[in-house]
Structure 1
Amino acid sequence: MIQINNCFIFEHFQETQKIKRGFSSWNCGILAEKRRKKLQTKTNPSKKITPLPICHCNPLVREILLLFPRRIGSFLLEHFSQISRHCSLILEMVAQEEEFTVDLNKPLVFQVGHLGEQYQEWVHQPIVSKEGPRFFGNNVLEFLTRTKWYAVPLIWLPVVFWLLTTSLRMGHRLSDVALMAALGILIWTLVEYVLHRFLFHINTNSYWANTAHYLLHGCHHKHPMDGLRLVFPPAATAILCIPFWNLVGLFTTASTTPAVFGGGLLGYVMYDCTHYYLHHGQPSHDPAKHLKKYHLNHHFRIQDKGFGITSSLWDIVFGTLPPQISAKKA
């Protein structure tokens, strides 16, 4: 069975020229409908579009679809290859008509989902400008997407201090709390790597998946120098703290959970501040100079390697070092 735009063409027809005309007008009808919808969406997006019947251009095609059984004979496959090629050309034209272009002068978040499979290519072609794009038409939502880098240490370092002192008050020595905090930092570096590699760089192609990915990390790759969307918004961090606290609690006691989680939170603060510095600072000495080169290589050259931000430890462990660095280490 051949299926073109969910309409079926059946055997048992003798009048070849009529069939060709039917195919031609049928597909031209589809093309006309696509163009009509696109034009109407551009001129008046709020107006409801009343769909036209697919086969409105030719009654013969409509009769064909209604009268014959749903099967295709070898006769049709062998003798109507010209029709098939004609339809392929028409459908290719339709696909080109439907190609979506993002307007950078309008709010982006609800546009990028329309890119479909083109989204991955689009989002990994960076625009280097300190002027960030507008995300939402709504001013409140737009405000929530913008965060100054220093908000991260100002908000979360007091929380880290409170967590560490909580474990101290519960009877642990300072040296024990320091070790637990160091363990938390190490765990964070692994979390940082796993999230960056497997969540932030997940391949998407549906409308809502593209939209969510753009909000989560795609915007940073598209606009890597946007300083107000580089660190994670505190409200989102607070929400994510809840499941991570519960996860740490599964493997620790009531008195050690605050210290380990506090260490992890400190690791996050170090990560976000380091990330901002790698984009906007000008380090002149290692290791900061090496980290900046390493991270910008991830943005502008090899985007599927070099997922570590604060260190390359887990890239070494899991084999995701960029090729040149791998060669040097070998």
Structure 2
Amino acid sequence: MSRRWVSLWLTLSLFGLAGGLLAWTLARVRWQETWLAFRSLELWELALWASLNLSLVALFSGRWWFLLRLQSLQVPFFPLVLYRLAGFGLSYLTPGPQFGGEGWLVVLLQRRHAVPPMEGSISVVMDKLIELLANFSFLAFGLLVSLHFGLPQTMLSTALTVPLIALLSVPFLLFGLLAGGILPASWLVERASRAPKFWLKLLQVFSDAERRSATLIRRHLWALAAVYLYSLGTWLVMVGEYWLMLHILGFDLNLPQALFSLTAARLAFLTPLPGGLGALEAAQVTALQVLGFSASIGFSLSVMQRVRDLLLATLGIVLGSLFHIRPRPALKPMAGLEAFPPSSLPLQERDP
């Protein structure tokens, strides 16, 4: 079977799964309850909610800005907010667990601010790694809250707990390996002398970025630990945003219940479905029903989140496209003060 047919089959399978989840969700919704929830929305409440979400985008961008500063790369803050939106938009629409827009961020840094691709890649990779550390820390906390307060034991058996713990441990394991000077990609390069040239070049790029990222971690370990704590702090704002969404829809959940529902929503984005399509809706309906609430409450929450994310993703892609097709005039390449050693395995030595 050719690659094109495999790709087509996978695409159809993903959208079939999303359609099945949506059909399952919609069959459980009482539309009158959903309409009453949305009819009660006030304009000032929506404005407050939108402002809080824009503030979250700025908070996420602040982490990236600081990581660039650690490399002595002086990129203005406000453009980074817009680039971050662009990266989110592409990742949101890409099948997989919220990856896909990282390469575009590197390109925008290069075209708009003359940031060398390697340094831009390091900032994006470190930003994503710390984001994953914070996200998975929250998910682990949310699962513990679920076990203690609301989730029936049968839904989180040992068979499900062990894979989740393993998944949540991956970013911490990778960060620990890099901090300890253990470089998985470099290890592969050293043992892949007979690999096809394309894959060897790709591994070499990963190896160089990995070495430089490890250097950054070792030189600024405490600063990166502070960035991790900062990222955990943004989760407090995200919990507040979710609680505000519940409040303006007129739903009264206590804090453990809200954490359980938010954890279910975030787990939905780990599925391979683009934007968690179908998975988000099913997760919110299931979570609220487990807590003893109507399925319509969960569906209303998922609609609010879906509208928010689609608006931000669309805005980001439009702005990112404008920035991409209109690069700034030629600039002198930006060079950080950090001296990162290149890979000790030059590519030409590996070419046949």
TM over 0.5: no
Pairwise TM-score range, normalised by the shorter structure: under 0.3
Greater relative contact order, per chain length (Cα 8 Å cut-off, separation 6+): 2
Q: TM-score scaled by structure 2? A: 0.23
- After TM superposition, the score normalised by the length of structure 1 is 0.24
> Which of structures 1 and 2 has the bigger CA Rg?
1
